[in-house]
Every structure is written in structure tokens, then in C-alpha cells.
Amino acid sequence: MSPSCDFLVIGSGLAGLLSAHKLSALGSVCLLAKKEASEGNSQYAQGGIAAAVDPGDDPSQHAEDTLKAGAGLCNEEVVRLVVGDAPARVRELADLGVHFSAKGGPPDLGLEAGHSRRRVLHAGDATGREIVQALLKRCREDRGVRLCEGHVAVDLIRDSGGSCCGAYVLQRATGSVRTFTARATILATGGAGKVYIYTSNPDVATGDGMAMAWRAGATLANMEFVQFHPTCLYHPQAKSFLISEALRGEGGKLVDREGRNFMAGLHPQAELAPRDIVARAIDSELKRTGEECVFLDMTHKSADYLKSRFPTIHEKCLSFGIDMAVAPIPVVPAAHFFCGGVRTDAHGATSVPGLFAVGETAHTGLHGANRLASNSLLECCVFAERLFGHLSARRELWEQRPISPPPDWNPGKAVKSDEAVVISQNWDEIRRLMWNYVGIVRSKKRLERAFHRMELLNREIDQYYWDFLLTPDLIELRNIAVVATAVIRSAMARCESRGLHYTLDYPQPVESERHDTLLSRFSV
């Protein structure tokens, strides 16, 4: 039987969980998770969630910091509505069972790069885990939410009128593709860090929502703005482990092997300059010295303090033989966050009727050319609420839409592949190509090379897709190829440097280039 529901929510990170929980008050919800429900970027969030809750703070200051980090490309209206709603959203999280760290009564506020004051609510250094566990508990208890773990969405389905009416979904346990039909489909599939070889993101972050939306004809915006986090743990056995910016907020210094603090003098905010600046400074330091990493020095803090404020990071470092209380932590930049994504309006609606996007997969206009730290969890919460408000106020958008069963998945003449090595080779090649040619520092020549190579890879991958039976690896390979190509094309279209997009050919911002980069399959 094809499952059908009022709302199909694809993705169970913060954006998906909160959307599903809220929408279950309006109708039936199917909530899909590619692997186990908790796995996603949200679960690994460390620093916290930004909100002007301190009596001395004000949303207008939060807005100013967001706009400044965004380097001229934020949608100011969206910025103001998001930061204005932030205090209410963190209160709501607390009501849903999230425990934020507190100093006596009021929350303990952290400081991160680009913020002009302490503003980040956190749960120690495991904020994401605390939030996801609380919301997952709610969704598991919600009778209106049907959680389907191990279900990988393959493609969106559009009806004869062009509206989205659900998705084809691969069930890992059976290897079969099921048809999920819905009156409204919500993409909450997170980011795409895995498009790069070095990333802070877990394995599920392969940009599936962006790729599916693009194939369905939705508009993607600003895909060139990929945020590289300056400090991921550098150790041969450490896979994707972040060293939170909150450490720099507590006085951590970036030093080279000799202990020289190379950020001092480079920017008035030094270590707490916006992320693009710090990541580029580290990149240039690594290229200049030929070293493989720089170091984050926290030795000014006591072991007791570090253990209680940053227990997860402290323990992880110790597991690799690094005692951060006595020795600097080896760190490198890594792909962390996609500021671009599926373009939505201020309610999460995409350009395809019946299709919505929330969270990191969406481009709402909040982040502009560079996201301010800890604004992403906030964006998930605000847009889950805005989507819910919109769909409850405008029931005609979904309630009367008939759910007519679309054709079942047709595997065609696809056969089982005995060439898994081809998929892993392509996967590796794309991720390395993106790191080397479309990374922190770009140039016209590098982008053109990447583009031409991707043209060939896309043709090859498209062929496997039709020839071989679907596997999660093949689905992800196809998606990272779409996202990589979108990043390259958007980067080639931007003839300036702005925020996270830095190119040697146009090293300065150019006023006439101050607009979003829009891509749609039908405008190619």
C-alpha cells in the first residue's frame, strides 16, 4: 500500500521534527529519516542558538550583527522577523523540554564570532543533541506523526498540474521504492557538507533536498555561499569533529606551530572575526607555511573549567591523546554550512506549488553571503513556526487538494550493479574536486576546470542511475553531483568576492553584483 498523509516531512533534524510536531495539530504527518531519526547536522550542533534574551540585548542588535556578517546579501525583512521571533522560539524549545545551561536563574549566554555581545543559548557543548532528543521524544509520542526511519527519498512527484504531491522513497530494509503521497510536502533534508572531502557534517548531509527540488523545477538560490568552519579537529582518526567557535568566545587563540597568534592584527575582532575571514586566514597560513594544521590554544583555562563548559570536546580530544588544558588543539577548516538552498518565501513556500522547504536545505534570505554563528538552529525554529502558521491560516493551500495516486515507481531495465567501486570512485572524485577547485579560495580557471569535469561525471552518473537498481549510495552520488554542479555554476556567475565567495580574479565586492544567484532547471 502506498502511504498517504496530509503532510510529508522529509528529514528529521530540528527543522523536520519541529515542523512535524506542529503540523500534527492540523493533519496526519509522515516523517521520513534517511537513517536513524537522530542522525543529521542538528544532532551535532555545539555552540547553540542565538536569541536576544539578555535584558541588555535587543533584537535590533542581533539584526545588525546578522546583516553585517551577511555582507550585503541578507533579506533585511527576513532578518528582522527571524531575530524578532527568536526569544519566543527559545522559550518554546524550553517548554518542549529542552534544558539550556543556566547560571542560577537566567541562561548562560555564549559568545561566538560576529556577535557584538554574548547571545548564544546552549546546552553545554551538545546543544543539538539536547534539542533533537527532546523533540524526537515529542514526535514519538505524537499520535499524528508516523516516523519512518531508514527511508531515503529519491525524487519528488508532481501531478499533471505541476504541483508536488509526494515523493518516491527507497526503504533501506527491503530495497523497494515506495510511493508516499501527500497534500503538502516539506523538505527538511539539511545541508550538503559531504559535497566536500573535508567537512564537519555527518554522512547524511548530501544535499538530497536541494537536488530533488532542482529536478522538480524549484529555484535554487546562492549556492556559491558555502561556509567553511575555521576549526575542525585535525587528527588522522577524527572524522568530522567540530571544535566549537564558543571556545574562541572564551578566549581561545589561533596559533601556528611556534605559538605565534596569527589572527592578532589581521582583523579588529581577531579570532572572533566573521567565519569567512578566519577560515581564509587559516587557509593562507597553511599555504604559506606548508603545515597541515594550525592550533587552537585554550591552555589559559583550567582543566576543571574546560571539563564542565566543554565536556564533549574535552572528552573527544582526550580520546585522541590531546589534553586541551595543557596543549593546543590541532585544527583545520572544513565545509560546514550551505547558506544557499531551495529558494522560499517568508513562509517556507518554494516556487513549486505544494512544496515547502525549511532549515538548512532552504534559502530564506536570512544568511546572505555568510551566516552569523548560531543563526541556523534559530532559522529552523522560526521557519517551522512560520510554515505552520501559514498552513493553518491558509487551509485552502492543502486541505482541499485531492490525493490522487501517482504512477508507481518504474525500475525500467535496471539491474543490480556489481561495480560499487565505480560509485565510490566518482563520489571521492567529486568531493576532492570541490575541495581543490571550489573551496575557500576560488579562481575562474579552477571553476572552469571543475565545471568541465562535472559535465562528464554528470553524464556518467546519469547513465548508472538508469542502468542500475537504486541503492542509497547511488541516490546520494546523483545528488552530490547536482549540488556540486549548482555550486560551481553559481560561483562562476558571481564576478566579485563577497562573504564566503572569494575569487582571486575579482578580489573585491562589486555593487552591481549585489543580487542573489538563481538557478532553475527550466531556466538553463
Binding site residues, ligand FAD, CB under 6 A: 10-16, 32-35, 39-42, 44-49, 127-128, 151-153, 188-191, 200-201, 204-205, 208, 242, 337, 359-361, 374-377, 380
Q: What span, in angstroms and rounded, lies between the C-alpha atoms of 99 and 105?
A: 12
Q: Cβ-closest residue to ligand FAD? A: 13
3-state secondary structure of 227: strand
- Please identify, using beta-carbon distances, which residue of 50 and 157 lies nearer to ligand SIN: 50
Backbone angles phi, psi at 309, to 5 degrees: -85, -35
**Paired strand residues for 120:** 50, 110
CB of 279 vs ligand FAD, minimal distance in Å: 14
The listed partner (ligand SIN, ligand FAD, none) that binds 184, CB under 5 to 8 Å by sort, is none
Residues 32-71: x/- map of binding to ligand SIN (CB under 6 A)? --------------xx------------------------
Report the relative pairing of strands 518-519 and 220-221 from DSSP bridges: antiparallel
- Please identify, using beta-carbon distances, which residue of 15 and 109 lies nearer to ligand FAD: 15
# of chain residues touching ligand SIN (CB under 6 A): 8
- The alpha carbon of 298 is separated from its chain's Cα centroid by a whole number of angstroms, namely 28
The listed partner (ligand FAD, ligand SIN, none) that binds 200, CB under 5 to 8 Å by sort, is ligand FAD
> Are 141 and 134 in contact, with CB atoms under 8 Å apart?
no
- Please identify, using beta-carbon distances, which residue of 31 and 282 lies nearer to ligand FAD: 31
Nearest-CA neighbor of 228 among 204, 247, 249, 200? 200
- Please identify, using beta-carbon distances, which residue of 45 and 81 lies nearer to ligand FAD: 45
- Please identify, using beta-carbon distances, which residue of 365 and 406 lies nearer to ligand SIN: 365
Q: What span, in angstroms and rounded, lies between the C-alpha atoms of 160 and 225?
A: 34
- HEC string of 73-111? CCCHHHHHHHHHHHHHHHHHHHHCCCCCCECCCCECEEC
- Please identify, using beta-carbon distances, which residue of 47 and 193 lies nearer to ligand SIN: 47
The listed partner (ligand SIN, ligand FAD, none) that binds 81, CB under 5 to 8 Å by sort, is none
Please tell me which residue in 89, 119, 178, 275 is annotated as part of the active site.
275
Q: What span, in angstroms and rounded, lies between the C-alpha atoms of 363 and 357?
A: 8
Nearest-CA neighbor of 246 among 289, 309, 300, 202? 309
The listed partner (ligand FAD, ligand SIN, none) that binds 201, CB under 5 to 8 Å by sort, is ligand FAD
The listed partner (ligand SIN, ligand FAD, none) that binds 482, CB under 5 to 8 Å by sort, is none
Nearest-CA neighbor of 121 among 136, 131, 132? 131
The listed partner (ligand FAD, ligand SIN, none) that binds 245, CB under 5 to 8 Å by sort, is ligand SIN
Nearest-CA neighbor of 491 among 372, 343, 340? 340
CB of 394 vs ligand FAD, minimal distance in Å: 23
Q: What is the DSSP letter of 501?
A: B
Stretch that binds ligand SIN, among 152-160, 239-247, 315-323, 393-401 (CB under 6 A): 239-247
The listed partner (ligand SIN, ligand FAD, none) that binds 380, CB under 5 to 8 Å by sort, is ligand FAD
- Report if residue 244 touches ligand SIN, rule: CB under 6 A: yes
- Report if residue 376 touches ligand SIN, rule: CB under 6 A: yes
- Report if residue 145 touches ligand SIN, rule: CB under 6 A: no
Q: Cβ-closest residue to ligand SIN? A: 47
CB of 372 vs ligand FAD, minimal distance in Å: 9
The listed partner (ligand FAD, ligand SIN, none) that binds 153, CB under 5 to 8 Å by sort, is ligand FAD
Alpha helices in 218-341 (DSSP H): 246-249, 275-289, 303-309, 311-319
CB of 119 vs ligand FAD, minimal distance in Å: 12
Q: What is the DSSP letter of 242?
A: B
What is the chain's Cα-based Rg? 22
Nearest-CA neighbor of 223 among 516, 452, 523? 516
Backbone angles phi, psi at 492, to 5 degrees: -65, -30
> Are 351 and 343 in contact, with CB atoms under 8 Å apart?
yes
- Please identify, using beta-carbon distances, which residue of 339 and 492 lies nearer to ligand SIN: 339
Backbone angles phi, psi at 384, to 5 degrees: -60, -40
- Report if residue 246 touches ligand SIN, rule: CB under 6 A: yes
- Please identify, using beta-carbon distances, which residue of 125 and 496 lies nearer to ligand FAD: 125
CB of 98 vs ligand SIN, minimal distance in Å: 17
- Please identify, using beta-carbon distances, which residue of 381 and 492 lies nearer to ligand FAD: 381
CB of 511 vs ligand FAD, minimal distance in Å: 30
Footprint (CB under 6 A) of ligand SIN, residues 334-373: 373
Nearest-CA neighbor of 87 among 119, 127, 111, 64? 119
**Paired strand residues for 155:** 168
CB of 242 vs ligand SIN, minimal distance in Å: 6
Residue 514 known to be catalytic: no
CB of 246 vs ligand FAD, minimal distance in Å: 8
Q: What span, in angstroms and rounded, lies between the C-alpha atoms of 83 and 317?
A: 34
> Are 343 and 350 in contact, with CB atoms under 8 Å apart?
yes
By CB neighbour count within 10 A (0-12 exposed, 13-18 middle, 19+ buried), where does 421 fall?
exposed
CB of 429 vs ligand SIN, minimal distance in Å: 28
**Paired strand residues for 488:** none
Point out which residues bind ligand SIN (CB under 6 A).
46-47, 244-246, 373-374, 376
So which residues are the catalytic ones?
Answer: 275
